[in-house]
Amino acid sequence: MATRMIAGIEVQVNDEGFMTDLGEWNKDIATELAKEEGIEALTENHWKVIDFCRQSATESGSAPTLRQITTGTGISTKELFSLYPKGPAKKVARISGLGKPEGCV
């Protein structure tokens, strides 16, 4: 397993750059990963999605699907694409310190 420095912390990542240990994640890491994904600032709605995804992954063992995110947060698919352009489920999973969502290429 590879490691990487993110926000001054060495974390374990897989070959695609997704963190592999939920416990290593923190909000500073999320902020840095968001910037890498082209999101300069995380708004209240960004955090609402991130918090939902982390809670869901803790309960189910995997990152939630786009449909689960929209249902669980009340944020529409259109707004999710606005918050996390070009692949919101994959981007939010990466920023949230979760594994790659099933079904994502």
Cα separation, 99 vs 22, in Å, equals 9
What number is the average pLDDT over the span 68-93?
94
The answer to whether the Cα torsion of 84, 67, 104, 33 is positive or negative is positive
pLDDT of residue 105: 43
What number is the average pLDDT over the span 36-52?
97
Answer yes or no: is pLDDT of 104 > 70: no
Q: What are the residue ranges spanned by the domains of the chain?
A: 2-95
Q: Which residues pair with 45 in a beta bridge?
A: none
Angle between helix 66-73 and 44-60 (nearest 10): 120
pLDDT of residue 103: 57
Give the angle subtended at the CA of 36 by the CAs of 14 and 19, to the nearest 5°: 25
Q: Which residues pair with 13 in a beta bridge?
A: 2, 19
**Residues with a known catalytic role:** 104
Answer yes or no: is pLDDT of 31 > 50: yes
Answer yes or no: is pLDDT of 10 > 70: yes
pLDDT digits (tens, 9 = 90+) for 48-79: 999 999 999 999 988 998 999 999 999 999 99
